[in-house]
Amino acid sequence: MKHETKPVSPTAVLAAVRPSACPGLVRVVAARDGGLCRIRLPGGVLDAARARALADAALAHANGVLELTNRANVQIRGVRAGEEAALAAALIGAGLGPAGIDAASPVEHACAADELRNVMLSPLAGLDPAAADGTTALAAALIDMMQREPRFAALSPKFALQLDGGERIAMLEHPHDIWLAAQPHGETVRFALGLAGCPTAKPIGALAVEDVCASIRALLHAFLDLAAPDETRMRDVLAAHSLDALLHRAQQHGEFALTRDDAALRAWRRGASDPDLRLGAHALHADGSGYVGAQPALGRIDARTLHALAAVAEASGDATLRVTPWQGFLLPHVAAHAMSATLARLRALGLICTRTEPLARLIACTGSTGCAKSHANTKADALRLAALLPRDAEVHLSGCERSCAAAHLAPYTLLARGPNHYDLYRRDDTASGIGQHFGQRFGQLLAPNLTIEAAAQVLAQQPRSTPDV
Q: CA-CA distance, 172 to 201, in Å (whole number)?
A: 9
Q: What is the pLDDT of residues 153-208, one digit of tens each?
A: 999 999 999 999 999 999 999 999 999 999 998 889 999 999 999 999 999 999 99
Strands 34-39, 29-31: pairing kind? antiparallel
Q: What is the mean pLDDT of residues 379-387?
A: 98
Q: What is the pLDDT of residues 342-354, one digit of tens each?
A: 999 999 999 999 9
Q: CA-CA distance, 167 to 134, in Å (whole number)?
A: 12
Range of weakest confidence among 37-46, 95-104, 326-335, 436-445: 436-445
Q: What is the mean pLDDT of residues 287-295?
A: 98
Q: Of the candidates 76, 32, 42, which has an alpha carbon nearest to the alpha carbon of residue 57?
A: 76
Q: Which residue has the higher pLDDT, 438 or 366?
A: 366
Please, which residues have CB within 8 angstroms of residue 261's CB and are 6 or more apart in sequence? none
pLDDT of residue 2: 41
Q: Which of the four pLDDT bands, split at 50, 70 and 90, describes residue 9?
A: very low
Buried b (16+ CB within 10 A) or exposed e, 134-152: ebbebbeebbebbbeeeeb
Q: CA-CA distance, 283 to 271, in Å (whole number)?
A: 20
Q: What is the pLDDT of residues 407-419, one digit of tens each?
A: 888 999 999 999 9
Checking if the pLDDT of 236 tops 60, the result is yes
Checking if the pLDDT of 4 tops 60, the result is no
pLDDT of residue 178: 98
Q: Judge contact between 102 and 90, C-beta under 8 A.
A: no
Q: Of the candidates 389, 409, 405, 406, which has an alpha carbon nearest to the alpha carbon of residue 459?
A: 389
Sheet with 65-68, edge to edge strand ranges: 29-31, 34-39, 74-79, 65-68, 300-302
Nearest-10 crossing angle of helices 212-226, 135-148: 40
Q: Which residue has the higher pLDDT, 154 or 2?
A: 154
pLDDT of residue 5: 35
